[in-house]
Amino acid sequence: MNKQEYMARLQATIQYMHNCGAVYRDTVAVREVIDGTTPWEGDVEVFELTGHPAAKRCYGWLCGEPERFVTILELPPVTDAHSAVKLGMASQIKKAGKRKRKRRR
């Protein structure tokens, strides 16, 4: 998928998931380092939102296998692209733990 298609799909995902308008504003390079290792590094797209009742911005990126879009609203504790990635990673770890517990049953 080329950059233009990627951005259009991410924008559409944000608009659908959060039921509001989204306009691209910026790309922020984020490198998450934990205990000397880098579990995530990539570009985070920043969108200004219109019509959302609480958030003014949304952060989005593509990750995982199979690939899927992650969208994080700028609501406390999220204040920027870096904190959005941290929250996204924590959410993925939590989901992975739930899947493992379900398989054991």
* Per-residue pLDDT tens digits for 4-62: 999 999 999 999 999 999 999 999 999 988 889 898 899 999 999 999 999 999 999 99
State residue 8's pLDDT score: 97
State residue 10's pLDDT score: 97
For residue 15, give its domain range. Answer: 3-104
Measuring CA to CA, how many Å separate 81 from each of 35, 61, 97, 99?
20, 10, 25, 27
pLDDT higher than 80, residue 102: no
Is 67 in contact with 15 (CB distance < 8 Å)? Answer: no
Sorting pLDDT into bands at 50, 70 and 90, what band is 67? confident
- Domain count within the chain: 1
